Structure 1
Amino acid sequence: MKLSSLLFFIIAQILLFTACQPKNTAFKSENPLPVEFGDPYILKASDGIYYMIGTGGVEDGFKMYSSVDLKDWKDEGRIYQGNTDSSWGIANFWAPEMYEIDGKYYLLFSADWRENPTNELENFRIGVAVSDKPTGPYADLYNRPIFDPGYPVIDGNLLFENEKVYLYYSRCCYKNPVESEVADWARQQGMFDEIEESWVYGVEMEPDFSGVIGEPELLLHPPVSMNDKQAEWESRSVTSGEVNRRWTEGSYIFKKKDTYYMMYSANFFGGKNYAVGYATSKSPLGPFEKAANNPVLEKNVEKGGIVTGTGHNMVTTAPNGKDILCVYHGRTEKTGENRVVFIDRMEVLDDGTLVVHGPTTKYDSEKSE
């Protein structure tokens, strides 16, 4: 074979091999996923598999789905059983998160605490369970919550940095009436006598989950003034007459360059106005400043879409190793009151602005074809 022919053959083979390789294309999800979870959380584990947990699916505990591509999901069944004779949690098992630490897997979650001498209607605390395998079964690490702040708390989220662990959580609205211009307005309208609020706190935690270090810091709360740029979207559950509560919950923190981004949800999780915003800080314990482009994720029915109740998100990366993904729950006309999982691309722009490209649905893709 002549040299020129050999060179041509080699080049042709290289081009053919390259063409046959999977392209590093942008991730695209066919929302909603066939998973009825609220508060979804996905761990991309060291084995390369995605493990998804959330609120719902089983009574008194949690179940799991797994996937290698975030599209086809395997039902792994129940991974944690609560409300046993020995468990500290007895009801309302909510908002689980998973963390892989030194070959073990930790399940952080909220539940009603068995210890309730004053018979509180909401007695939520945050605890942790552990397993040697991502698929469980998980057993309580301690027969008690991580700590007791003296009020009900939910939606635990962790940040690991510089050999320290930070716990973020939401104080429940329960028995937390707050005076504000929105509360004054609601009374003047004859809608509600008081407005209860939930607030996001942060505190350093013992690395072994045995307790907290120091006092919790208040990081986020609903706006006090109706002139605040965040007041309109964060107060919709009240101003629409839906309920006498304003929420700041479902926080999820991550760091980009030297900035901490805390995403959070506002409004009633069971209603159409549930939405996501974010705040930024130069320190893991604040102060945090809410973003001007909030909300970054909300219902789209006013724009011709079919999605409502978008919220309680987390962030993961796509199988292509490139795209950042926002994982959250929402509802559609077809799913009704059932919360289902959505995954949409998100990005942090060069100027630091966070953008979520959603909510999207398979229906949107079909319309554009």
Structure 2
Amino acid sequence: MMYITYKIKITALSRFLIFVAFVSFSAATSSAQTIDTLKAPAPVLKGLYADPNITAFGKKFYIYPTSDGTVGWMSTSFTCWSSDNLVDWKNEGVILDLPRDLTWAKERAWAPTIATKNNKYYYYYSANVNIGVAVADKPEGPFKDPIGKPLIARGTRGGQMIDPMAFVDDDGTAYLYWGQGQCNIVKLNDDMTSCDTSKIISVKPEGYNEGPFMIKRKGIYYLMWSEYDTRDPRYSIAYATSTSPLGPFKKAIGHPVLKGKGVVKGAGHHSVVQVPGTDDWYIAYHRFAIPDGNGYNRETCVSPMRFDADGNILPVDVFEKLKPVKIKKAKK
């Protein structure tokens, strides 16, 4: 009789412990879901900004974005933001104003990029669905139009002539990538303000829509781009690799770079910066503004971006909190 009573007590205790474990697991799961939907990190730039181009010059980081917040993306000027730690950003003001500084376009100031060469800074941008170039002596500008016309005029190739990305290879050769609908690539001349448009190469990796970006790591070229439309919550980033900046490119199947989750929607149109002197990489991108954002009301974020041992880009965690980063070795 005592033996039977003892077994009953153990059974009851076991059931109680199982119940406690279940409640704890449910609470943990609920907590994780809450983080996914309610606790996304704050944007790094105050206000509505999209299409961020992040880079490093000297011991500072810079972001060159599109000013957002109008239906049809009708912005007319560009700003520059600087930071010495990736977390705290200073608005350096307007660096290029289309109505004031251009004779050939007045609106639709979109998706800029910047590169340095010849002790100058070259700023490429979309203006009224053309691609222009401007030049300055400092990263903060002011920038001036040196050619008085588009560098790449609308209609030069299929798709829209937007979303330029300038990449300077280790040997000093500079390339321009751009295009919605297909990715166009051309080698820039040494002056960085001209190119031979008869030598444009056009490629269209599976899923490509817009926003090309090029990086090089350990001898491998990574062509990255945005998939879907920027107004689509599924907007996301994929990539392909090559041993040449001109391709051919092989898409990394099963290795998405970045996409939204939970409260984070429309995460895309990115750029990437390598912290000088390290193998540490960070990705800047926009997402729908939280809360109630959409494809015309977007905000800029920065997250760590990592590689695995085989050189694959690991999926970016859009909920990872950004920690301050200092540049110890200035980029030449």
1:156 equivalent to 2:115? Answer no
Partner of 2:174 in structure 1?
165
Partner of 1:353 in structure 2?
312
CA 1:68–1:216: 2 relative to 1, 3 Å: same
Partner of 1:93 in structure 2?
109
Provide the C-alpha distance between the structure 2 equivalents of 1:282 and 1:110, rounded to a whole number of angstroms. 28
- The structure, 1 or 2, with the larger RCO (C-alpha pairs under 8 Å, 6+ apart) is 2
C-alpha displacement of 1:319: 8.0
Deviations for 1:50-85, whole angstroms, at most 9, x for unmatched residues? 121111169411012111101111121111111248
1:271 equivalent to 2:228? Answer no
More strand by share: 1
Provide the C-alpha distance between the structure 2 equivalents of 1:201 and 1:150, rounded to a whole number of angstroms. 8
SS of the residue corresponding to residue 83 of structure 1 reads: helix
- Count how many residue pairs are aligned between Structure 1 and Structure 2: 270
Deviations for 1:233-291, whole angstroms, at most 9, x for unmatched residues? x4xxxxxxxxxxxx521111111122110111011112211100000111111111110
Structure 2 residue aligned with 1:200, among 178, 183, 195?
Answer: 183
Tell me, yes or no, if the aligned pair for 1:344 and 1:356 is still in contact at 8 Å. no
Matches within 5 A, 1:1-369: 30-35=41-46, 36-46=48-58, 48-56=59-67, 59-84=75-100, 86-112=102-128, 124-148=129-153, 149-151=156-158, 152-161=160-169, 162-170=171-179, 172=180, 198-208=181-191, 209-212=193-196, 214-222=198-206, 234=207, 248-301=209-262, 306-318=263-275, 321-334=278-291, 336-337=293-294, 338-360=297-319
Q: Percent same amino acid at aligned positions?
A: 32
C-alpha displacement of 1:212: 2.5
Provide the C-alpha distance between the structure 1 equivalents of 2:50 and 2:268, rounded to a whole number of angstroms. 9
C-alpha displacement of 1:125: 1.5
Partner of 2:36 in structure 1?
none
Provide the C-alpha distance between the structure 2 equivalents of 1:335 and 1:134, rounded to a whole number of angstroms. 34
Deviations for 1:311-341, whole angstroms, at most 9, x for unmatched residues? 1111113489452111111125425232111
Provide the C-alpha distance between the structure 1 equivalents of 2:235 and 2:258, rounded to a whole number of angstroms. 9
C-alpha displacement of 1:215: 2.3
Structure 1, unaligned stretches of length 5 or more?
1-28, 113-123, 173-197, 223-233, 235-246, 364-369
Tell me, yes or no, if the aligned pair for 2:285 and 2:300 is still in contact at 8 Å. yes
Asked which structure has the greater CA Rg, the reply is 2
Measured on the aligned residues, the alpha-carbon RMSD in Å equals 2.4
Counterpart residue identity of residue 156, structure 1: P
SS of the residue corresponding to residue 199 of structure 2 reads: strand
Provide the C-alpha distance between the structure 1 equivalents of 2:189 and 2:267, rounded to a whole number of angstroms. 33
Tell me, yes or no, if the aligned pair for 1:125 and 1:154 is still in contact at 8 Å. yes
Tell me, yes or no, if the aligned pair for 2:240 and 2:249 is still in contact at 8 Å. yes
